[in-house]
Structure 1
């Protein structure tokens, strides 16, 4: 397998910050996305390389291993262990006795464990390694996760159909087993980790399964009371306003919030705060009536 320079793939410097890596990946992923380049094999391959580069460099631990070991970064622990053992022998004034490795030179033994140049060829005594994990971000609107949702996600050139449970939260990560990179030497596939980025609706603020909204209430209804119709996430409802309602009063509508994640039929509550609107541009008659009220 030829060595791939992940920094070159993303067109960034080795000193790039996490934010710069993310920005570069998003920009280039949009450019080479299969949906925008149908039947373009070059764009498809480029998209795969971009995903692979992002999977490694966006993970601080993996990036450190890659910077140290290049194409063999997935075997960093084993490499460091063997190097540490070699240093211990050297510091003790000794040397490796290759008889303990069946007469092999140290380099031959090392190659039999890790393969030649990370090629992944099956060889006698070579250990299996789990494939690389993939990470992906899925952007949704709040309304998209109010009910169970089905989406197709393209990861490393492959389409994966997902069933997204209702109530998924912003920043939540789910794992899909076996949808990462191929394992090496007969090892299992890696996993796919999906991070949900959920844009909150402007009319509702979400806190886990509860929703919050602010409703403008005219001064007459606030003073005298009455019925109003307000929006909820699953339609409009009628709400009774008590006479003498004060600005900032909050009422709770039980069960009118967001679905509880993976608890079918359970919902949070909707908290409605009243913002009493003071009338402007009064007519002469309205001014006269307010003046009379003020004198009582």
Structure 2
């Protein structure tokens, strides 16, 4: 009985890529596996054909021989040696990426952990930028054993349980699960004579001082990454990174909103009514703010370019000054009489409304509200 074409068995074209062949095999193997076909002899034969086809087409040399000479080029009786793949090997190759590696050797070297340093700074320093020195405790490569963890003059040995893989495979029926090797904890090697300084860890803890440039315009939540300044890697792995997390302390005068600053500016009753100039603080010093006559509490004045320069775009923000009219306190009798005289001069009713339009508008609204309730 002649054999079916291997490409037809897997349902792929003759110019199919390795990835396409592997994908087709996965799909068919899961469909026709004996654990699923429940003893159906015909389907078991089909499964063996699928295995054989994949064994040939997944191997570049065997595939080339098959493409040139057909089945004769890979016939084991003629020296081709195709045969059938061991189920365990196929299981690891095909289903390994589903269950975690499938027996592929993992690198024993591990990258060091990333570290975070919380940096508190004033608003002034955040806006202008500065250089700061920070002291960071971290794990560093042991100078005695150079990170191997073994006593000087000795070296780690290959783990006898996982044979250096760092993982062991547990099989249950159709499924396999990769687990960290319990003997070497995933390192792939064991240390019989540990280094006295690091006790076999390959790393020791010590602090280091770093100079960090804080760019102008940073804000709370911004992070500065220092590559390779984290913890040392294990078994020759690269070091992690250090992230400096910025936190700007609250300011007694200014509040920040993105690139803009804001502050409350108290002004006298007289200045609010007649207008005038007041001194306003900025991060660069005091400036004069011209207040228009008849200014009300809550009005905002914008001082352009007196905010924060963006650390990303370079755009300069503004300073928003909110006016707060301050009611006079601790008045003497003469001052009270003058205010009373001023109030009397404004008259009552409609005459007073032209001096206090908001007051009249408010009480007119209140009157309409109660009239609606009683109507």
- Mark yes or no: TM-score above 0.5: yes
1:154-174 alpha-carbon deviations (Å, 9 max, x no partner): 112111110000111102122
- What's the counterpart of residue 149 of structure 1? 130
- What's the counterpart of residue 228 of structure 1? 278
* Equivalent residue for 1:244, pick from 291, 294, 299: 294
Give the CA deviation at 1:127.
4.0
Taking the aligned partners of 1:280 and 1:148, their CA distance within structure 2 comes to 42
- What's the counterpart of residue 190 of structure 1? 240
1:16-65 alpha-carbon deviations (Å, 9 max, x no partner): xxxxxxxxxxxxxxxxxxxxxxxxxxxxxxxxxxxxxxxxxxxxxxxxxx
Give the CA deviation at 1:284.
2.2
Q: Contact 1:166/1:262 (CA < 8 Å) preserved in 2? A: no
- What's the counterpart of residue 142 of structure 2? none
Farther off after superposition, 283-292 or 166-175: 283-292
1:179 aligns with 2:229: yes
Q: Contact 1:229/1:237 (CA < 8 Å) preserved in 2? A: yes
Instruction: Please report the TM-score for the alignment, with normalisation by the length of structure 1.
Output: 0.57
Taking the aligned partners of 1:149 and 1:262, their CA distance within structure 2 comes to 16
1:126-137 aligned within 5 A: 126-137=107-118
1:211-269 alpha-carbon deviations (Å, 9 max, x no partner): 110011110111111111111111000111111110111111111111211445x4211
Runs of 4+ in structure 1 off by over 4 angstroms are: 94-97, 110-114
Taking the aligned partners of 1:130 and 1:152, their CA distance within structure 2 comes to 25
1:289 aligns with 2:289: no
Give the CA deviation at 1:96.
5.6
1:37-76 aligned within 5 A: none
Taking the aligned partners of 2:248 and 2:331, their CA distance within structure 1 comes to 43
Instruction: Please report the TM-score for the alignment, with normalisation by the length of structure 2.
Output: 0.45
Q: Which runs of 5+ in 1 are unaligned?
A: 1-90, 102-109, 115-125
May I ask how many residue pairs the two structures share in their alignment? 188
Taking the aligned partners of 1:212 and 1:163, their CA distance within structure 2 comes to 27
Q: Which runs of 5+ in 2 are unaligned?
A: 1-34, 37-85, 94-101, 139-206, 346-375
Query: Larger C-alpha radius of gyration, 1 or 2?
Result: 2
Give the CA deviation at 1:285.
2.1
Taking the aligned partners of 1:137 and 1:158, their CA distance within structure 2 comes to 15
Aligned-residue CA RMSD (Å): 3.1
